[in-house]
């Protein structure tokens, strides 16, 4: 039969693709985001051209590898933001979810956040967008959540997007620094960040003597 064959082929191809992705993930977890296509092909027991047939491009492979983890993280964050508690608790839960993720699998995190940029290829590649796509996506997701649920007045959508990207950036930068230095346990970091978002900077008093901030 024809269709059966075609479907078998398709499913076999997808299975193979998953296998290749898992091999790639092993290598990336071992060698970091700079892992070479040769190394990935060797780990998968094949040679380079096959990788290029499946993913077209190193960026394609990395993108395919990224969406899986990104999807998982976005789902977890959405769940945290949907919990039936008050806003502060939900924000803390979301922060903790993100920080727990990067704490548990820092290599995955680094791969997602610092993917290698294009090198020699003349590939157009939207210039200026080679910043980590995960951050952009998280920012947009949070922006829609905020716009959906919070009353921000007239320029609601604009404010929501600024705040979404801003909050995600805060979480990311603080998490990146914390992951490198580990200056305090996770729950304290979560509390400090939530305090900052809850207007800590606005309400704190100036220290005596200095010019104030």
Number of residues that bind a second copy (CB under 8 A): 77
Would you state the structure tokens that stand for residue 35, as one six-digit string?
Answer: 């892992």
Which residues 95-154 are close enough to bind DNA by CB under 7 A?
118-121, 123
- Nearer to DNA by C-beta: 60 or 200? 60
Q: State how far the Cα of 213 lies from the Cα of 198, in Å rounded to an integer.
A: 18
Q: Closest separation between CB of residue 192 and a second copy, Å? A: 4
Concatenated DSSP letters for 39-99?
Answer: HHHHHTTS-HHHHHHHHSSHHHHHHHHHHHHHHHHHHHHHHHHTSSS-HHHHHHHHHHHHH
Q: Which sign, positive or negative, has the C-alpha torsion 135, 136, 137, 142?
A: positive
Would you state the structure tokens that stand for residue 14, as one six-digit string?
Answer: 């997808």
26 lies in the site for DNA, by CB under 7 A = no
Among 14, 75, 82, 187, binds a second copy (CB under 8 A): 82
Number of residues that bind DNA (CB under 7 A): 30
Among 17, 18, 130, 182, binds a second copy (CB under 8 A): 130
Would you state the structure tokens that stand for residue 23, as one six-digit string?
Answer: 């091999």
Binding mask 31-70 for DNA (x = CB under 7 A): -----xxxx-----xxxxxx-xxx-xxxx-----------
Which residues 147-186 are close enough to bind a second copy by CB under 8 A?
148-152, 155, 158-159, 161-163, 165-174, 176-180, 183-184
What's the distance, CA 126 to chain centroid? 19
- Nearer to DNA by C-beta: 16 or 159? 16
Among 119, 123, 124, 154, binds a second copy (CB under 8 A): 119
158 binds, among a second copy, DNA, none (CB under 5 to 8 A by kind): a second copy
Would you state the structure tokens that stand for residue 66, as one six-digit string?
Answer: 């990224």
Closest by CA position to 112, among listed 172, 161, 163: 172
Which residues 38-77 are close enough to bind a second copy by CB under 8 A?
none
4 lies in the site for a second copy, by CB under 8 A = no
Q: State how far the Cα of 176 lies from the Cα of 160, in Å rounded to an integer.
A: 24
Under 8 Å between Cβ of 51 and 41: yes
Interface positions with DNA (CB under 7 A):
1-2, 4-5, 9, 12-13, 16, 36-39, 45-50, 52-54, 56-59, 118-121, 123
């Amino acid at each position: 039969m024809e269709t059966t064959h075609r479907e078998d082929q398709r499913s076999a191809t997808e299975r193979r693709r998953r296998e290749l992705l898992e091999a790639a993930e092993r290598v990336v977890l071992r060698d970091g985001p700079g892992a070479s296509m040769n190394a990935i092909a060797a780990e998968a027991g094949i040679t380079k051209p096959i990788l290029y047939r499946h993913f077209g491009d190193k960026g394609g492979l990395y993108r395919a590898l990224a969406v899986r983890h990104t999807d998982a993280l976005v789902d977890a964050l959405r769940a945290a933001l949907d919990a039936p508690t008050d806003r502060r608790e939900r924000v803390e839960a979301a922060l903790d979810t993100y920080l727990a993720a990067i704490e548990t699998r820092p290599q995955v995190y680094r791969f997602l956040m610092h993917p290698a940029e294009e090198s020699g290829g003349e590939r157009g590649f939207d210039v200026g967008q080679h910043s980590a796509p995960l951050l952009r996506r998280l920012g947009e997701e949070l922006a829609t959540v905020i716009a959906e649920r919070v009353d921000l007045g007239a320029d609601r959508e604009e404010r929501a997007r600024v705040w979404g990207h801003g909050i995600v950036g805060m979480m990311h930068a603080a998490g990146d620094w914390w992951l490198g230095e580990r200056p305090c346990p996770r729950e304290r970091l979560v509390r400090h960040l939530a305090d900052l978002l809850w207007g800590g900077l606005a309400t704190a008093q100036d220290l005596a003597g200095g010019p104030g901030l």
